[in-house]
Amino acid sequence: MPGRTLYAGAAALCDKIAAQVPRIFDQAQNSLANHQKNLVALYKLQVEAALCTEEVRQGRGLRLVGEKIFEEAILQMLTRVLPLKKGVTPADRVVKFIGGYVKFVNEKALEQEDQEGNDEDDESTASRFTARLLQFFYKGFLAKDKNVRYRSLQSVAEMVNHLGLVDEEVYSELRSSLMDRVIDREVNVRVQVAIGLSKLSGTEGPSEEGEQTVQELLLDIMKHDASADVRRAAVLNIPIDDTTIDAILDRTRDVDITIRKLVYSAILEKNVTVGDNDQIMGPTHPRALTIAQRELIIRNGLGDREPSVRAAAASLLGRWVDVVGGQPEAEGEENPDVKVESGLIELLKMLDMAEQKYPVDAVLSVLTSRPEIFQNMIFGHEYWKNLTPETAFLARVFVEHGLTTNDNVRLEAVLPVVTELAFHIQDTFNELSSRVDEEQEARLLTDLTEDERIRYEDARLEKEAILGELLQLAVNLDYSDEIGRRKMFQLVRDMLSEDLLPQSLLNKCLDVLRELSPNERDLIRVVVELVQDLRDQARGNEGEEDLKVASPETSPGETPNTARPSRSNPPREQTAEEKARADATDYKCLLLCIGMLERVDGTLDENSTLAGILDELIIPSVKRKEYIFREKGLISMGLCCLIAKPLAINTAKFFVEQVPHSPASLQESLLQITFDIMMVHEAELRKYRPEIIPVLMEKLLGLVSMAASDKVRAVVCLGLSKLILAGMATDYELVLTNLIQVYLSPKTENNLELRQCLTFFFQVFCYSSPANQETIRSMFLRTYETLKEDREKLDEDEEMISPAQITTLFADWTDPNKLRTVVTNSESQANMSIQLDLAIEVLRSLLEQNWAKEDKKVLCQLLPKLYLPDSADDDKVKELKVLVYALRSRRPIRDTMTNNAFTKFEAAVMKKFGKQLQDFNEEEYRKLEQLEKLFSFVDSIIPDDDDEEIGLDEPKRKGKKRHVLELQDYIMTTTTEADDVTSAGSSKRGRSKPRSKRPRLSNSDDASDDEVTELHTPPPPTRKVPKRSAATRKPPQVVYVSSSADEDYAPTPRSEQSKKRSTNHVKNEEHEDVTFDSIIDGDEHDDENEEEEVHDLLAEE
């Protein structure tokens, strides 16, 4: 802007700005509606201020006096806003106003540059004003007041998008200042940092090698910031592109519900298209995403446990259907019958149809959230004539949704009759057979290229997928039409006898056959006859003249028996081709047997036709050396055991013995069979073979640590968990100990299936029965020792959870408040004193066992975490108190943290059971018969030989007491001149012989003998301290006295020793700072005796 010398008017301008700027900000803080008007008014004031300049250096330069006055006025207004905390609405409006003004003034500057043709690099009033504001706010970034930091960063975050063109130095300083505040301890401050960096990341250029970019920092914030608010701010504001979309999709599994919901509603759905134009794809358009990304969105969204997140995901899928359904179809794909469902079909084309679960969930979600689509879908003749995998899949899911909602009227109006659908299935199977024949012929006649092989395979898989969907659809049809039922039955039976039928469709055909069969016996008879026919045809033992082909009108109940040829002639040796054909037929027959046995519940005795299959096909397959036959034979035999009790009893051990010698994939099946037999035939095994259950449990426990793979180990642990919950485990503690070991072992760290299974199992086991909690409590210490040994055997690169985490787990498992019966107010109540018993057990262990320092610390820190009931048995409470005192006296706690935890527990005990312990007296309770064993146990504990504490029955040793106080208080003694020590002692006591280096019990110089007497602690014996040079005064030294052997004490006089032997047992000594309840209350006579001993000892000194 052109300037002129108006220095004479600077004072008037200053008054004008001082009057108008506060008025503008006052209006801006009251309402957002007047911001635009005030932006214009403030800009006019700034323009006028910019004209006020002063010539300097004899007219060769200008001083921008007006701009400085204007900027100072603005900064003065902002200074009043910065100290205001979050949530003050006027302050938020002012921040929004200043951000809007930066945008307004930079837009005006750009317009003026375009009009005047000035260079963009030239400074302007707007750029100078923006730079001054930034410099002002930079100071607030480092303020001690969290409100100032918050408001400064909030203002900069509002300004970032509207800064216009700034110098490289300004940009670098802004970038580094924001990145430095990422580690601010205030959540609100970090939220504003994330917003500011998100707006800055879009303008970031290439970074230097090794330097962290703004985008990388934002991605790190999204993943690792502890605050959900900060992660939410980063997710909502980060630009969406190919480099950030995966990180955004990862937030669909965030622990915060709001973030998961916002990812679907505020990010994915909002950015499907650009603006309101559905023809322009946005970054989250389904066509812009990969298949893996689309399936991740569907799986995480529709599988979320929160209804609000599932609703947001369903809304997104509805939006996808709308945008892809409006796309014009490719030429030649027009279908007049497909209208409303076109969006669903297009969406299915973008998904992997091999993964059946996610497409089904997506379609069901759309049909549920958009009922108008379900009501308006029409399947015309052309729809069924030109089936594709997507259209067949949609028809099948449509039927399932109609059956779920009981909308039979809608289904009858849309679906074809059974006979028509049977013809569609037959045509599809014929096309599949033709494609297979064409592919085999082409492979024989020519060498196919890779593209040709892929094309043939895709065509075959397409027809196979269509046939599979139609068979699944046929299961849900109404077969009241007898003609259609017979047609479908004969068609499915013929398909099963065809070699060209893919193995993946066998089970789907069996599902249709089961729906068509009157009962299980008829289904078994049909499948058995089919298996026998297939095996006979493969071995060439029957001709066409021996076959009696069933007519198309034959019903399931009238299926004729096949005539069997005479087998008097010995079988001839098979050729290699015939043997291969026979093996393929046997394998197909085994698959049919497995599918049939999985669909029946009757016993083997009720279906005698299965006996022939078992002897002729299944058992010989188990004995074969080929892995595929042996695997299917074992599975078939295991399924037979589930419906045949004698067979299960005789072969239960056989399956377990096969596990170590089998591949990992077969081990899973064998273990599942074993566990199924034990669960189904528990009563028979206990009645007829009770000795086999411990053998099975022993072998299964051995597989926990010797499993060949993570999957096998997970199967073993899952089965053992079921056996424990079912009450079949012979040794609960042994099984539970093994499960806890494998649960906490570092070798199962990546076995998420096992960890998830056992996490759920231990909670169900412990919270379902008071007896189960008691079992866990009783095995705590033994399990802790076992895990301690396992920890010592770990390799250097292996890590195990800490002992503190282990004790926390047991405290959680034995918490009586979490017991299911307590929560549901059932008649069977929990043992509310179970953790009181656990505390007694831990205290006994601390007294009896020589635990390491770290283990003692962990066990003592466990005690305050235990639940103490409001009321408990008097004997238990008194036992707890005696053990606490015994631990204090006979197993002293040296570590400060351990002592604090134990003191906290002791205080909790006295607070909870103070009334029950107020009249406690040891001598009286020693006479009680129920406490006799307890006191025998306490008396048998030998005190530590460090002489740090006095036992219950140990005589007084005054020379040792000094060490107790010094060790417990960590007394700091200063080594100075011997004369100073001597003079200090004589001045206090007034004795003829000075004391040397007496430990101080208080900071006062006027401490008297009475203070020592009140603490029940006589002074230590005389110690001769060598004199040191007084030339240099040494700094204080901290002396930690550990035993009596470390210092040279003067011997106690014999007269005093005789007095000590005549006194009573030593009473409980209490520290001046840490108070403990004495288990024996001393009387006045004992206090007088101690006081006399103190004075006598001092007199001799």
Flag the least confident range among 139-143, 273-277, 344-348: 273-277
Contact residues for 143 (Cβ-Cβ < 8 A; gap 6+): 82, 149, 152
pLDDT tens-place string over residues 755-812: 999 999 999 999 988 989 999 999 999 999 999 888 888 887 788 889 999 999 999 9
pLDDT tens-place string over residues 72-114: 999 999 999 999 999 899 999 999 999 999 999 988 888 887 7
Amino acid of residue 565: P
Pairing of strands 52-56, 4-5: parallel
Q: Quick one: which of 269, 271, 258 has its CA closest to 230?
A: 258
Pairing of strands 52-56, 61-63: antiparallel
Contact residues for 102 (Cβ-Cβ < 8 A; gap 6+): 129, 130, 133, 158, 159, 162, 163
Going from the C-alpha of 716 to that of each of 668, 724, 749, 759, the distances in angstroms are 8, 12, 17, 15
Which helix (H) or strand (E) element contains residue 280? strand 277-281
pLDDT tens-place string over residues 718-729: 999 999 998 887
Q: Please give the average per-residue pLDDT across 324-341, as a whole number.
A: 53
Estimate the crossing angle of helix 168-180 against helix 146-159, to 10 degrees: 140
Predicted confidence (pLDDT) at residue 962 exceeds the cutoff of 60: no
pLDDT band per the 50, 70, 90 thresholds, residue 890:
confident
pLDDT of residue 389: 92
pLDDT of residue 548: 36
Dig out the tokens for 39 from the structure: 């932006």
CB 889 within 8 A of CB 943: yes
pLDDT of residue 275: 75
Q: Where are the alpha helices (DSSP H) in 540-644?
A: 576-597, 609-613, 619-623, 627-643
DSSP E strand stretches across 924-1024 = none
Q: Please give the average per-residue pLDDT across 295-302, as a whole number.
A: 94
Dig out the tokens for 421 from the structure: 């659908």
How far apart, in whole angstroms, are the C-alpha atoms of residue 913 and residue 286? 66
How far apart, in whole angstroms, are the C-alpha atoms of residue 572 and residue 585? 18
pLDDT of residue 823: 58
pLDDT of residue 379: 86
pLDDT tens-place string over residues 1007-1022: 333 333 333 333 444 4
Residue carrying the six token digits 């906290």 = 904
DSSP lists the bridge partners of residue 1034 as none
For the chain, state the CA radius of gyration: 44
Report the phi/psi class of residue 57: left, alpha or beta, with left for phi > 0 and alpha for psi in -120 to 50: left
Mean pLDDT score across all residues of the chain:
79
Dig out the tokens for 183 from the structure: 């580690």
pLDDT tens-place string over residues 12-26: 888 888 889 999 999
How far apart, in whole angstroms, are the C-alpha atoms of residue 240 and residue 611? 65
